[in-house]
């Protein structure tokens, strides 16, 4: 099993990270397509294979994702790197969201209760909060580390400038800096490369990359001139009452993205493997990537995903993928 050091920390993480946004019934953020029995089978198989990072958030499926994860890891908590996130609304009140001391303190205690643990290995800011001074946020997170409730801290969906501001705020007070960033990265979305990855390297952050399969487009599931299955992720989003959800799904099914998916499928055929494995292997082999977040909904999907963490792409395959995906990087 291959492990990597997470940023400027001593924490060792597997190259695959199990994302649990789908664990539990629909609600909050996440589609909730895994009931607890299926989620437990996926999680147990993932850990049994030697991988050790599980990522969740207080907003996923209305908090049920954290509860399921907590019950599943109870018997082997010390061997798991447990990561969760906070920011999104947890109630109707003005202080029920964000990165203020008031909200984060309540959010952490609630996550600890749902996860059934006395500490979180990696506690992450789910997104930037323009309404809270970053010094307040970093001081609060440092207090969590000092108390023993949190081991390491990270951020998600921050810009390069926001990372720098955060690290400077920690340095000013001699506090705990971020050791990780969660950011979108795939053959379809390479915007992390010009600024974010160099900033992470300079400021000691490892990376946990999400949506590595481009919402499923890179699996080859979606075809030109064929309406997506209504039960698929993109099919559900296209039929969502939310204009933002529909727009997000439409943006995935562009000619450029489908061209990249076609080339990924051709390479997979050449190598006698799957498009999923090729897309994940390409991302795993990118400079600056610490761990890749996968979100399987079935055991078969988990097995297909994990194949991408042992596949070594030949140089010519990498060059082909780099070339076709470079436009719009």
What pLDDT is recorded for position 329?
A: 45
Active site annotation includes 123: no
Q: pLDDT tens digits for 311-323? A: 999 999 999 999 9
Q: Where are the domains of the chain?
A: 3-219+284-314
Strand partners, 122: 83, 152
Please write the tens of the pLDDT for every residue from 123-134: 999 999 999 999
Residue 89 clears pLDDT 70, i.e. is over it: yes
pTM for the whole thing?
0.94
Token pair of 136, please? 């307040």
Residues 45-79 have pLDDT tens digits of: 999 999 999 999 999 999 999 999 999 999 999 99
Q: How far apart are CA 231 and CA 227, in angstroms?
A: 11
pLDDT band at residue 227 using 50, 70 and 90 as cut-offs: low
Q: Of the listed 60, 123, 152, 185, which one is catalytic?
A: 60
Report yes or no: 90 and 96 within 8 Å, Cβ to Cβ.
yes
Measured from the Cβ of residue 131, the count of other Cβ atoms closer than 10 Å reads 9
Q: Is the pLDDT of residue 33 over 60?
A: yes
pLDDT tens sequence across 201-219: 999 999 999 999 998 999 9
Provide φ and ψ at 132, rounded to 5°: -120, 130
Give me the pLDDT at residue 237, please: 61
The per-residue pLDDT for 294 is 98
- HEC profile of the chain: CCEEECCCCCCEEECEEEECCCEECCCCECCCCECHHHHHHHHHHHHHCCCCEEECCCCEHHHHHHHHHHHHHHHHHHHCEEEEEECCCCCCCCCCCCCCHHHHHHHHHHHHHHHCCCCEEEEEECCCCCCCCHHHHHHHHHHHHHHCCEEEEEEECCCHHHHHHHHHHHHHCCCCCEEEEEEECCCCCCCCCCCHHHHHHHHCCEEEEECCCHHHHHHCCCCCCCCCCCCCHHHHHHCCCCHHHHHHHHHHCCHHHHHHHHHHHHHHHHCCCCHHHHHHHHHHCCCCCCEEEECCCCHHHHHHHHHHHCCCCCHHHHHHHHHHHHCCC
What percentage of the chain carries pLDDT values higher than 90? 84
Work out the average pLDDT over 93-121. Answer: 97
The CATH topology of domain 3-219+284-314 is: TIM Barrel (3.20.20)
Give the whole-angstrom CA distance, residue 65 versus residue 240.
Answer: 22
């Amino acid at each position: 099993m291959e492990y990597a050091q997470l940023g400027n920390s001593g924490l060792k993480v597997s190259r695959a990270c199990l994302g649990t946004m789908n664990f539990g019934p629909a609600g909050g953020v996440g589609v909730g397509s895994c009931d607890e029995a299926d989620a437990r089978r996926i999680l147990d198989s993932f850990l049994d294979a030697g991988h050790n990072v599980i990522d969740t958030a207080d907003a996923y499926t209305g908090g049920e994702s954290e509860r399921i994860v907590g019950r599943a890891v109870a018997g082997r908590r010390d061997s798991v790197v447990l990561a969760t996130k906070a920011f999104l609304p947890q109630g109707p009140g003005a202080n029920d969201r964000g990165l203020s001391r008031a909200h984060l303190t309540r959010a952490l205690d609630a996550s600890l209760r749902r996860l059934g643990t006395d500490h979180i290995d990696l506690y992450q800011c789910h997104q930037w909060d323009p309404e809270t001074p970053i010094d307040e946020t970093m001081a609060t997170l440092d207090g969590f580390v000092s108390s023993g409730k949190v081991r390491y801290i990270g951020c998600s969906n921050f810009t390069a400038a926001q990372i720098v501001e955060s690290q400077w705020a920690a340095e000013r007070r001699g506090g705990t800096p971020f050791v990780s960033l969660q950011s979108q990265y795939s053959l379809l979305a390479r915007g992390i490369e010009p600024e974010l990855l160099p900033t992470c390297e300079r400021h000691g952050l490892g990376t946990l990359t999400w949506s590595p399969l481009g919402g499923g487009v890179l699996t080859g599931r979606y075809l030109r001139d064929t309406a997506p299955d209504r039960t698929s992720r993109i099919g559900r989003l296209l039929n969502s009452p939310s204009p933002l959800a529909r727009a997000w799904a439409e943006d995935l099914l562009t000619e450029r993205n489908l061209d990249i998916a076609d080339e990924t499928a051709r390479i997979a055929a050449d190598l006698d493997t799957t498009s999923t494995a090729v897309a994940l292997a390409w991302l795993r082999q990118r400079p600056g990537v610490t761990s890749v977040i996968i979100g399987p909904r079935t055991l078969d999907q988990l097995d297909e995903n994990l194949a991408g963490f042992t596949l070594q792409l030949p140089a010519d395959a990498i060059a082909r993928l780099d070339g076709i995906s470079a436009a719009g990087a």
